Amino acid sequence: MITKTTLCLALTLGIVHAAASDEITSAYLLDDLGDQTTIATRTRLRVDYAPGTINILQSDDLMTQGARTVWEALALVPGFEQSIDETGTRQIVVRGVGKSYSSGAIKILVNDIALNSELMSLANPVLNMPVEQIERIEVIRGPGSAIYGESAYMGVINVITRKQGQRLFAAAGNAGVMAGGGVMSFNNAETGLSYNLNLAGWKANGGGKAGQDQLYADGFGELSHAPGSVNDKLDYRSALFGLNYRKLTLSALWLEDGAGDHYGINNVLPPDEKRIVTRHRHRAFEIKQGLELAPALQAEFKLGWQDFTHIRDHLYLAPGASYDPAIDGPVWLSRDYKENRLTAGADLAWEHGRHTLLLGWSFNQSRIDSASWDWNYPYYDIGSSFIRTSMERTINSFTAQDEFRVNPYFTLTAGLRHDHYDDIGNSTTPRLAAVWQMASRHVIKAQYAEAFRAPTFYELHNGGQPASIRPETVATSELGYIYKGDGSRAGITLFHSSLKNLIVFEDTPDYIGYSNSRSARSQGMELEGEHWLTRNMKFSGNLTWLDTRDATTNQPISGAGHWLANAGLEYRFNQDLAFSIRLREVGERSRETGDLRPALAGYNVTDISARLFNFASTRGLTLRAGIRNVFDQDVRYPAMSIHNGLYPDDYPRGSRQWWSMLTYSF
């Protein structure tokens, strides 16, 4: 069994080897150190010279490594940890934050279009997007509000989808996994006209298990479906369209996913009906026009619309007899919510001497279209709406940024963003960053940045008066070092984050609802590296050490792993065949205050995958196959507990899975 000690040793050896090797390798061994991105500053920079801590996950690498969805791919990012809630909603815990606090700690974009909903600040369908549908994933680890505003609290994810080439794919796996999709595109370089259509869909029956649930703690164990199978059926479908004509860009997207009721919204296990209960749908349309006002003066204008729909169809609450012996059958809840958003913006970028100046304005107006709910409990009328349908929000934001090149090797970036909300007031977030290339292979980065997350519509509705909850804030200091060699890269990042005004749910005799009642800190170290050991073999890995602390309880933040590690080995047998083995370890996770259980044990999993090009002697046909959690290790995500009630054995999610996929490019 692999342990964090083994992973630490492997990663350290890989980084030392990378740092010690100056040998020149073949051109095809050069990794993507030259990748460029606009995620850090909205101006195009090479990743290692962009301010902040950034990772670029390339689709081709992810497919070789066996990642199937964006959610699985993000587990490869240092400091990122997977989890779910009781109804199966995907959660990304970043540097220990995101499970206990806040609805959504990450800004999620697709092709630069932000999709976090105002209801709960989430964009779950993006996490279920298959890797075959994407070109790359750009990630900021740490605050990003100086550029992206609200929800860019602990990180930013921008999923760039495939827009070129022609391809079809189909996949299958155990637990009823089936998937398919394709990309079609057209490009005329002479006229500057191009367009693309990207389609995908998949479904799975699940197969998870659950131990005893809350009914046992309440004395109704004989009425429970637990222990038993979990209704963790999942599906996903999407369509993305893009059209470009010179500097005019039109984008449209439709993303939708569905899930069963999993472990039950009240932590009472529902019957395993293999039925979709919860559905999320995002639709968006945006048009952008770029202008070259002068050789050194660029402008971009954009206008967009989007909507978000959240539906729950007969969500299981509990057996009726647990409420009243006279009630026959289950008690269920249905919910139908829809919001829409109008967006506009303008950016002006001016290169003047050693300065690159960016000025930006954005407008965001969100409102609720409908918010109805219903249940079948006969003794209490819950009303027609679960949230005030009159709620709306208008945000005007102003951004100023200066990239100052002190000399060819040293750049300072200073930024400031001001967001004015018509319902909760103002937020101002600064950033100051420095990047120093102290030698040809060595880069040092330093940054201080602040970020915020505005209270969601749901939190405001359940938090007293509309303006009684303030945005939660974070201030982060980072110091990083990057070594770049031929076919090698290694880095270390030290960080410290101070979180204030955290929005949490309180249930006390004096108050029930959301409020700003916590502060916390998160600090740690992230190591990452990759190196071609031979012409055919590459090692890559990362290691994260976390020290978190809730200032109110003086205890570690619940749900956060103290150690996170990845290590992988890729071997190319020849031009067509590649094999990958990856090891993932998550350290033990702390419990909530008052939870009498010991810390949740960590877990480690081993994944293997293979990729065969020109399968069956057919040019353009690629076969991928793999096994996740080869040794069927016990993987559990934390479930909250009240004196050992709810799910005392947490949420088991660790079964072995096999999968295979055919892709045809033409």
Q: Is the model's pLDDT at 4 over the cut of 70?
A: no
Confidence of residue 467 (pLDDT cuts 50, 70, 90): low
Q: Is the model's pLDDT at 322 over the cut of 70?
A: yes
Q: Is the model's pLDDT at 466 over the cut of 60?
A: no
Q: 42 to each of 347, 367, 418, how far by Cα in Å?
A: 9, 28, 17
Phi then psi for residue 564, to 5 deg, are -135, 140
Rounded mean pLDDT of 440-460?
Answer: 95
Please provide the average confidence, as pLDDT, over all residues in the chain.
Answer: 90
Kind and range of the H or E run holding 145: helix 145-148
Confidence of residue 597 (pLDDT cuts 50, 70, 90): confident
Q: Is the model's pLDDT at 12 over the cut of 80?
A: no
Rounded mean pLDDT of 74-103?
Answer: 86
Q: Is the model's pLDDT at 642 over the cut of 90?
A: no
Q: Which two tokens stand for residue 590?
A: 């702390």
Rounded mean pLDDT of 24-33?
Answer: 31
Say what the pLDDT of residue 8 is: 43
| Residue 331: how many other CB atoms lie within 10 Å | 21
Rounded mean pLDDT of 277-289?
Answer: 98
Q: Is the model's pLDDT at 536 over the cut of 90?
A: yes
The phi-psi region of residue 187 (left if phi > 0; otherwise alpha if psi is between -120 and 50; otherwise beta) is beta
DSSP state of 643: T
Say what the pLDDT of residue 20 is: 37
CA 567, 568, 569: angle at the middle one, nearest 5? 140
Instruction: Measure the CA–CA gap between 162 and 133, rounded to whole angstroms.
Output: 6
Question: CB–CB of 644/217 below 8 Å?
Answer: yes
- What is residue 653's three-state secondary structure? coil
pTM of the model: 0.92
Confidence of residue 15 (pLDDT cuts 50, 70, 90): very low
Q: Is the model's pLDDT at 481 over the cut of 80?
A: yes
Percent with pLDDT over 90 in the chain: 76
Q: Which two tokens stand for residue 648?
A: 């005392």
Instruction: Measure the CA–CA gap between 600 and 604, rounded to whole angstroms.
Output: 13
Q: Is the model's pLDDT at 103 over the cut of 70?
A: no
Three-state SS annotation for 389-404: CCCEEEEEEEEEEEEE
Q: Is the model's pLDDT at 315 over the cut of 80?
A: yes
Whether cis (ω within 30° of 0) applies to the bond prior to 78 is no
**Digit-coded pLDDT (tens) for 353-385:** 999 999 999 999 999 999 999 999 988 888 888
Among 489-503, 528-542, 634-648, the least confident range: 634-648
Instruction: Measure the CA–CA gap between 481 and 476, rounded to whole angstroms.
Output: 17
Instruction: Measure the CA–CA gap between 210 and 175, rounded to whole angstroms.
Output: 16
C-alpha 224, offset from chain centre: 34
**Digit-coded pLDDT (tens) for 173-195:** 999 999 999 999 999 999 999 99
Rounded mean pLDDT of 219-235?
Answer: 95
Q: What torsion do the CA atoms of 103, 109, 113, 115 make, to the nearest 10 degrees?
A: -30
**Digit-coded pLDDT (tens) for 134-177:** 999 999 999 999 999 999 999 999 999 999 999 999 999 999 99
b/e burial code for range 546-557 (CB count within 10 A of at least 16 → b): bebbbeeeeebb
Rounded mean pLDDT of 109-114?
Answer: 97
Rounded mean pLDDT of 30-36?
Answer: 52
Does the domain at 4-665 match CATH 3.40.50.300? Answer given as no
Confidence of residue 19 (pLDDT cuts 50, 70, 90): very low
- What is residue 10's three-state secondary structure? helix
Say what the pLDDT of residue 506 is: 79
Among 25-39, 266-280, 473-487, the least confident range: 25-39
Say what the pLDDT of residue 32 is: 39
Q: Is the model's pLDDT at 558 over the cut of 90?
A: no
b/e burial code for range 397-423 (CB count within 10 A of at least 16 → b): bebebbbeeeeeeebbbbbbbebebee
Say what the pLDDT of residue 21 is: 35
Rounded mean pLDDT of 573-599?
Answer: 90
